[in-house]
Structure formats: C-alpha cells, structure tokens
C-alpha cells in the first residue's frame, strides 16, 4: 500500500521554496530518562554490578579487641532483552514528487518515535522496581495546597543518604500542572514572582521537575524476551535521586535502509535495544508516588 503524500497548489510553489527544507513534524513528547538516569551506551547487553553486605560498626569500652564479621556479596545484573523497532517503505516516486528532503525527514521522525517509546518504557520499568512508595494527600498534585507537603515528604524519603548530593527529580504528567503552577505562584517571594512572570519553572525546593504527557505511566502486562512483565503504574508518578538507576541502550539508535525485491525506493528501519535496572542497594532512592 502506497504512502499518502500531501499536495499543494502551484501558486504556493515560490512560498514553499523559500520556507524550509525539511518536513514539518508532528507534536513531540518530552523525553526525560536520559536526564535522570545513568545512561549506558557501552554496547554491553549484560551489565554486572555485585554488591556487598552493609557493614555495621559497634561501640564498646576500650579493650583492644574486636569482633570479626564475614563478608558476603550478592550478584546484581542487568540483561538487555527488549528492543523498540519501527520500519516503513518509501517509494522512489514519493521521493521525487516531494518538495522537501523526504528521506532525511523520515529518518529524523522515526528515530524520535523509537527513542520516545524507549523513554516511556524505561520510566515505567524503573517505577515498577522502586524501593519505596508514598501516597499523596487527597487530590494529589492537582490540589495546589498539597504541593509543598508532597515535596517535603518525598525529600524526607531520601534525606540523609550520601547519594542525595546528586540531586533529586520528580516526573509528573501534564494534568498535574493544574495544581503545581498555582502552588508555585503563591509560595515565597522571588520564586512566586518568577512563576507569575514566566510561568512553570522546572526546579522547586531543590527538586528538578519533568513533565510528560498524560498516559505515560500505565498498567500493562506483556510477554517479553525476559518473561512476563507487569506494571501497575497508572495513577502514579516518579520521584528519586538522579543517576542511581541505569538506562541501558547498547549501540544507541540504529538506522538501516535497504532495497526490497519488486519495490522501487527503499525500506527504512529504526531500532533500539533497551534495558533498565534499579540496583538493589539503591532501590530506596527511587520512590513511586501514588496519587490519592
């Protein structure tokens, strides 16, 4: 089945000629995983990160003696078994009839589509393996009066750990801003003025706030290469310390173009191998925020 190519009238030819050389793309969703997780593009499909038992020191009267404990280590690994893919065929006449560079524009658009799908997958996988959870006051983020209380409680979940110096993040959906923005604009002086003047700010009380579209956090059960994977993330948001979970994408985004028998033009395929891991010793630095 042929693709559908848009047309324009001859009178528009000169305007188009001087506008731009790439296709206009659809609305794009924000991607956040790379900003908040440790990204591994080393090319490894198997990452080992063993950890030792937590030592506990003791205090006693000066005696010149001490107790000797055994050291134990536990394997903690990430095996990349999932892959995000997309492919389509562009016929030669579609390339020739288009007034812009159709091929390069499609490479860009397809690459984005694969990366965005991987981003959503990683966010859900990390949330599913969070070591802590917190239930908000009734109304969640959409009730402005809850915002400072929620942030204070979330910060208390990770306070006191040395890793907290890396900074914290909160991922919310766009509908949550109905309460977050009024809260930002009504608390403090310089911060409130900044919000009233410029709108939403992406850092508040030391927490970097990222916004994704509604429907990013989902309930899903799928059969994957690593077995059945179940997420129950609908109605939840994600908080934690930056760069303690790992987002693995061996080789990054891959693009291939090939000739297909009995078809003119070329087939374009884009794929990305992905995996995500909340390492066991750091699990309590990731928090699932459950909306009440």
On whether the CB atoms of residues 276 and 231 are closer than 8 A, the answer is no
Task: Indicate whether 9 belongs to any domain.
Answer: no
Q: How many residues would you count in the chain?
A: 292
Residues in Cβ contact with 59 at an 8 Å cutoff, skipping those fewer than 6 apart: none
Residue pair 77/246 in contact (Cβ under 8 Å)? The answer is: no
Q: Could you give the CA distance from residue 241 to residue 255 in angstroms, rounded to a whole number?
A: 33
Residue 83 to residue 228: CA distance in whole angstroms: 15
pLDDT(12) > 80: no
pLDDT value, residue 98: 61
Residue range 63-76: mean pLDDT, rounded: 92
Closest CA to 194 of 203, 185, 205: 185
pLDDT class for 46, splitting at 50, 70, 90?
Answer: very high
Res. 291 pLDDT band, cuts 50 70 90: very high
- Whole-number pLDDT of residue 158: 97
SS3 of 20, please? coil
pLDDT at 1 over 80: no
What are residue 132's DSSP bridge partners? 287
Whether residue 277 is predicted with pLDDT greater than 80 in this model: the reply is: yes
Residue pLDDT, tens place only, 86-126: 888 888 766 655 655 666 777 888 889 999 999 999 999 99
Does 284 or 91 have the greater pLDDT score?
Answer: 284
> Does any domain span residue 225?
yes
The angle formed by the CA atoms of residues 216, 222 and 223, to the nearest 5 degrees, is 150
228 located within any domain: yes
CB atoms within 10 A of CB 24: 9
Asked whether residue 13 is domain-assigned, the answer is no
Sign of CA dihedral 221, 82, 289, 187: negative
- 216 contacts: CB under 8 Å, gap ≥ 6: 29, 120, 123, 124, 173
The structural domain count of the chain equals 1
Residue 216 structural domain: 29-49+73-290
Residue 66 within a domain? no
CATH number of domain containing 159: 3.90.1690
Nearest 5°: the CA angle 95, 15, 24 is: 50
In a domain, 8, yes or no: no
The pLDDT value given to residue 140 = 98
Q: Is 123 helix (H, G, I), strand (E, B) or coil?
A: helix
- Mean pLDDT across the stretch 119-146? 97
Q: Measure the CA–CA gap between 69 and 56, rounded to whole angstroms.
A: 10
Query: What band does 10 get if pLDDT is binned at 50, 70 and 90?
Result: very low
Q: Domain for residue 91, yes or no?
A: yes
CA pair distance 28, 113, nearest whole angstrom: 9
- pLDDT classification of 6: cutoffs 50, 70, 90: low
């Amino acid at each position: 089945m042929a693709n559908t190519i848009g047309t324009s009238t001859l009178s528009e030819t000169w305007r188009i000629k001087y506008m731009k050389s790439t296709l206009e793309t659809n609305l794009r969703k924000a991607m956040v995983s790379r900003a908040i997780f440790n990204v591994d593009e080393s090319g490894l499909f198997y990452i080992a990160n063993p950890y030792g038992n937590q030592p506990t020191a003791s205090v006693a009267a000066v005696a010149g003696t001490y107790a000797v404990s055994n050291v134990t280590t536990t394997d903690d690994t990430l095996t990349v078994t999932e892959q995000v893919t997309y492919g389509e065929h562009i016929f030669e006449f579609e390339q020739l009839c288009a007034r812009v560079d159709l091929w390069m524009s499609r490479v860009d658009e397809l690459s984005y589509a694969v990366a965005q799908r991987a981003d959503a997958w990683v966010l859900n996988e990390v949330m599913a393996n969070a070591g802590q959870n917190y239930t908000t006051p009734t109304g969640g983020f959409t009730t402005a009066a809850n915002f400072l209380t929620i942030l204070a409680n979330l910060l208390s979940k990770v306070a006191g750990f040395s890793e907290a110096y890396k900074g914290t993040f909160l991922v919310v959906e766009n509908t949550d801003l109905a309460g977050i923005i009024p809260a930002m604009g009504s608390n403090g002086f310089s911060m409130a003025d900044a919000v009233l003047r410029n709108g939403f700010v992406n850092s508040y009380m030391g927490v970097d706030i990222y916004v994704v579209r509604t429907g990013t956090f989902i309930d899903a059960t799928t059969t994957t290469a690593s077995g059945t994977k179940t997420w129950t993330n609908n109605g939840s948001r994600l908080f934690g310390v930056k760069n303690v979970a790992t987002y693995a994408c061996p080789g990054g985004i891959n693009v291939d173009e090939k000739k297909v028998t009995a078809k003119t033009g070329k087939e374009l395929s884009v794929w990305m191998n992905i995996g995500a891991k909340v390492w066991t010793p750091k699990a309590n630095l990731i928090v699932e925020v459950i909306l009440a």
